[in-house]
Amino acid sequence: MTTAAADTAMNALIAFQRQTEALSAVAERLSWDQETVMPRGAAEQRAEEMGAMESVLHERRTDPRIGEWLDAAVAQTPAEERTLVLVAREFGRASAIPADLAAELARQTSLSHGIWAAARAADAPQDFLPTLHQIVLLKQDEANALVAAGFGGGDPYDALLDDYEPGATQAELAALFAAMRPRLVALREDVLGAPDQPRPLDSRIAQEAQLRLARACAAAFGYDWTRGRMDLAVHPFSSGRWQDSRITTRVIEAEPLNCIYSTIHEVGHSSYELGIDPDYAFTPLGRGVSMGVHESQSRIYENQMGRGRAFTGWLFQRMQDMAGDLPAPDADAFYRSVNRVTPGHIRTESDEVQYNLHIMMRFDLERDLISGKLSTDDLEEAWNARFLKDFGVAVDRPANGMLQDVHWSAGLFGYFPTYALGNVYAGCLNLAMRAAVPDLDESLGRGEAAPGVEWLRENLQRHGGLHEPRALIERAAGAPVTPEPLLDYLEDKFAAIYRL
């Protein structure tokens, strides 16, 4: 094949992919709209719209010309070489899934969101379980189709996991979690048994005041308001890429820290997308490379920077200015309250010590759902029994149990373990960032996260999908990925807070 023909194939592939990426962004915008401002009565219409959009996208992603272009194209740069790898991966996965299955999954998961939200509000799992059963069956079909095409190494769950964390396997993650669990459990027992317990932050702040404070925190972490916006959602999330990446938060007036840290967390996700090299827009390189890497950004913003002593000192003063007297008498007491460890039910509100234990539980449950070992009819009982075993607290209501997370209603099986993996990645990145930016806490104490944000943007965010997930983290951290930096950080931080 001539050089001209190879160049023609590459250019045709890139042009075709550009339109597919644009349409994918439109579909994502439909999902954002559904979870923020869409009228409740439009759920069935939106499900049909999402199904139709997925049919169009699936047809494009499986277009036979993609295979021809991949065979003919010759990369001239590392970015083009990586683009070919990512397009080939997506083409192979999409081609393995029947078009009607892809459309039905999109339709069913769109429809199920409203069913889940209503069931959660009513504490009525029986209203959601039939829909969840259908989603599990569809995801099993999807996983089996991928396995038949050679994905997942013959393991259905791994075939789903690969969509969120390419290269990871459930066996590898199970071993990682087993290695982490003893130190996490021991630390939890030590802090919960400590005689000097931080006081809870019992303070009520009105919704509009919380949102003003959340916007101030987002600005402190460099959120680009010219390319983003903030709205309310049942379950906080971020959405979008390139020049439009939006965040959501939620407000509970009696729990203002929930809004603040949900916002900072989503700013981390959104800033990753906005920080990618603009030359990668409308290409497979122009999005976060994996959900584990994505979570590393949200967690390092929220925890290692946002819950540190320096930033909470700045936040303490802002909350005092906005809410009047706080129960915490000073910034040190406020810092301890922000990082208080308590055996609560809700994953998104969990402290750093116990958060990964929540993920490990969900990881095991969803593996059993996909394998067929656990039926949806038995899920609530299995959840409640496992939660009591792992946390020593009984689930008091379904909204605080199996109905609390949106992920399964959206068909996101394989997503949950990337949260814990993201924490491990964040531990590695934090160690390197602190060494490279030794005066970071001075800036955070002034409510300026820019030095840390700029280090992350330069060493990780700007690369988008250019490198495989683990390789990207190891390049940024300058060391292999291990859980030790995270575990050491947690033990040092909470030993000081609890005066162990």
Nearest to residue 79, comparing CAs of 245, 278, 239? Answer: 278
Count of residues in the chain: 500
H or E stretch covering 249: strand 244-249
Encoding tokens for residue 356?
Answer: 């990964």
**Residue 235, marked binder:** no
Distance in angstroms (rounded) separating the CA atoms of residues 360 and 354: 10
**Residue 467, marked binder:** no
Q: In which residue are the tokens 């499900």 written? A: 47
Distance in angstroms (rounded) separating the CA atoms of residues 106 and 101: 9
Encoding tokens for residue 281?
Answer: 């827009």
Encoding tokens for residue 397?
Answer: 């209501």
Helix (H/G/I), strand (E/B), else coil: 483: coil
Residue 498: count other Cβ atoms within 10 Å of its Cβ. 22
Active site residue 442: no
Which pairing describes strands 238-241 and 244-249: parallel, antiparallel, or unpaired? antiparallel
Catalytic residue among 54, 266, 302, 352: 266
> What is the separation, in whole angstroms, between the first and last Cα of the chain?
69
Helix (H/G/I), strand (E/B), else coil: 232: strand
**Residue 295, marked binder:** yes
| Cβ-based neighbours of 226, under 8 Å, separated by 6 or more | none
Q: Which residues are catalytic?
A: 266
Annotated binding site for Zn(2+): 265, 269, 295
